Amino acid sequence: MLVAPSILSADFGKLREEIEAICTAGCDLVHVDVMDGHFVPNLTIGPVVVSAVAKAATKPLDIHLMVQNNTFFVELFAPFKPQYLSFHIEEEKHPHRLIQKIRDLGISPAIVLNPHTPPSSIEYLLEELDMVLLMSVNPGFGGQKFIPNVLEKAPRLKEMIEKRNAKTLIEVDGGVNNQNIHALANAGVDIVVAGNYVFGASDYKSAIDSLRV
Ligand code: DX5
Ligand code: ZN
């Protein structure tokens, strides 16, 4: 299991130290939540802060867009060279075109599904995607309770990926902790995002290690 701590739960008063700490603790990716106050009822960070995040991180960035007007934000964040740029399918009329655009920028494209969105909505995009992110909370805030329907969605998605001989990874985001990590691993999940669980721990390394099942 790969682990991507979400910096949404970090102490923004000492963001550089927080990012250095999770990278030293051995995380695989640094998950960055971008919210615009329209697609979700919260507002987070823009390019000024993400630039500082990119400089502090020694692990690749995993940028999760929760915005309207995805194309604008893709262009805004591409210069920071994240490993993944993911956008919500619920907010995109032309996902195929946007996937191509992200790939042309040299970044791995990923799509995010809200808790109610079925994996079948992206079946015909799977070969084009490096990752699918399944939300296990309603996007907008850290520290929410895990919605277990993702345990049913992940195996369905995995089956679709295998049937199509695609290499797409499955990531889960929201309410992940040491209580649900084994069920997520059994469901075929490759990467977990964890905000509160990692940054709420006194020892980031043991929190990250406890998710590496
Ligand atoms: C929610 C964000 C998540 C969130 C995860 O909209 O996409 O990345 O920060 O935080 P926890 O692990 O605390 O649910
Ligand atoms: Zn996220």
The DSSP result for 66-97, as a single string, is: E-S-HHHHHHHHGGG--SEEEEEGGG-S-HHH
Select from 93, 89, 90, 24 the least CA-distant residue to 59: 24
Could you give the count of Cα atoms lying within 13 Å of 132 in the half-sphere of its Cβ?
A: 33
What is the spatial distance between Cα 11 and Cα 22, in angstroms, rounded to a whole number? Answer: 12
In three-state secondary structure terms, 36 is strand
**pLDDT band, residue 90 (cuts 50/70/90):** very high
For the chain, the structural domain boundaries read 2-210
Compute, in angstroms, the gap from residue 32 CA to the centroid of ligand 2.
7
Residue 12 corresponds to which amino acid?
F
Q: Which residues line ligand 1 (CB under 6 A)?
A: 6, 8-9, 31, 33, 64, 137, 139-140, 142-144, 173-176, 193-197
Compute, in angstroms, the gap from residue 158 CA to the centroid of ligand 1.
22
Q: What is the pLDDT of residue 45?
A: 98
Select from 69, 104, 176, 178 the least CA-distant residue to 133: 176
Q: Is this complex scored with an ipTM above 0.90?
A: yes
With contact defined as beta carbons under 8 Å apart, do 207 and 3 qualify?
Answer: no
What is the spatial distance between Cα 49 and Cα 165, in angstroms, rounded to a whole number? Answer: 38
Q: What is the pLDDT of residue 43?
A: 98
Q: What is the pLDDT of residue 67?
A: 98
What is the spatial distance between Cα 131 and Cα 168, in angstroms, rounded to a whole number? Answer: 5
Pick from 112, 173, 181, 204 the residue to mutate for probing ligand 1's pocket: most ligand atoms within 8 Å of its CB: 173
Strand blocks (E) in the chain: 2-5, 30-35, 61-66, 84-88, 108-113, 131-135, 169-173, 191-194
Q: What is the pLDDT of residue 40?
A: 98
**pLDDT band, residue 69 (cuts 50/70/90):** very high
Q: What is the pLDDT of residue 92?
A: 98
| Positions at the binding site | 6, 31, 33, 64, 140-143, 173-175
State the fold for domain 2-210. TIM Barrel (3.20.20)
Over residues 23-41, the pLDDT tens digits come to 999 999 999 999 999 999 9
| Positions at the binding site for a divalent metal cation | 31, 33, 64, 173
Ligand 2 ion: Cβ-proximal residues, 5 Å cutoff: 33, 64, 173
Q: Pull the structure tokens for residue 91.
A: 């907010």
The model's pTM is 0.98
